[in-house]
Amino acid sequence: MSKPLVVTSVAEMQKVRQAMTGTIGFVPTMGALHSGHATLMQKSLAENEQTVVSIFVNPTQFNDKKDLEKYPSNFAGDLEMLQKLGVQILFAPPFLEMYPDNYNYQISEKEMSPLLCGNFREGHFNGVLTIVLKLFNIVRPTRAYFGEKDYQQYQLIKKMTEALFMNVEVVGCPLIRDENGLALSSRNKLLNGEQIRLAQKFAHVLSSEKSKQQVLEKLSDLGIETEYIEELWGRRLAAVKVGPVRLIDNVKI
């Protein structure tokens, strides 16, 4: 497969987009790509004539500066994955390209945003919705692909496109796990061997038949700090801390 075209400025991406025809699939990411991301790209490649992937670690969605600073990155490895899959375009802009307004303009949603992750990460979903809207305006995709790993995010983005009459189809993609049931995440790269085993236990307990209370107790016995565990939208969703790393997961109930 040939290398994707790498675009780093908004003006150039708009120019490239202008020249594109046919259906365009879009997969926004924060890089440090893994096989979970790859499934979104494969779906986009199968359903559209061209696929654009973005890599942008969006500072406005990080409530914790340390979390942003240590967020994993692997640009060379990411490019290799995109090339292997046959992705045509990579959009990887620097911060100022995306925020010429210095984040003075923000999208906020009032009902679902304050729940779950939003209750523990102040301003997180404002940052997510704002960057996704900006990216959609630049890339103008036919379809955009989001993982159910970030279930609340996926719901919020889908509903934003409906509320703002945006001409894009938001496609949800199944959560991908490793062979031990742990949800794949870029942040897993920050875990040591022992922490990975603990994280796998978290996934196992979350998907067990245990009640919410029993899950909480079991996680506490394992030394895992639970931020929240809630049952909503036919799912059991949770955020925990394993060592210094915050992990989220959800399972159908």
Q: Please give the residue ranges that form the binding site for ligand AMP (CB under 6 A).
A: 29-30, 36-37, 40, 146-147, 149-150, 173, 175-176, 183-186
Q: Which one-letter amino acid corresponds to residue 189?
A: K
Residue 223, helix vs strand vs coil: coil
Match 């440090």 to its residue by tokens: 32
Q: How far is CA 212 from CA 4, 42, 167, 231, 236, in A?
A: 45, 35, 39, 8, 9
State the minimum distance, in angstroms, from the CB of residue 58 to ligand AMP.
Answer: 8
Q: 124 an active-site residue? A: no
State the minimum distance, in angstroms, from the CB of residue 156 to ligand AMP.
Answer: 12
Closer residue to ligand AMP (CB): 44 or 185: 185
Both tokens assigned to 99: 């925020």
Closer residue to ligand AMP (CB): 74 or 216: 74
Q: Which one-letter amino acid corresponds to residue 201?
A: K
Closer residue to ligand AMP (CB): 62 or 146: 146
Q: Which of 34, 37, 124, 204 is catalytic?
A: 37
State the minimum distance, in angstroms, from the CB of residue 132 to ligand AMP.
Answer: 10
Position closest to ligand AMP via CB: 147
For residue 210, what are the contacts with CB-CB under 8 A and spacing of at least 6? 218
Half-sphere exposure (CA, 13 Å, Cβ side) for 5? 13
Q: Which residues are catalytic?
A: 37
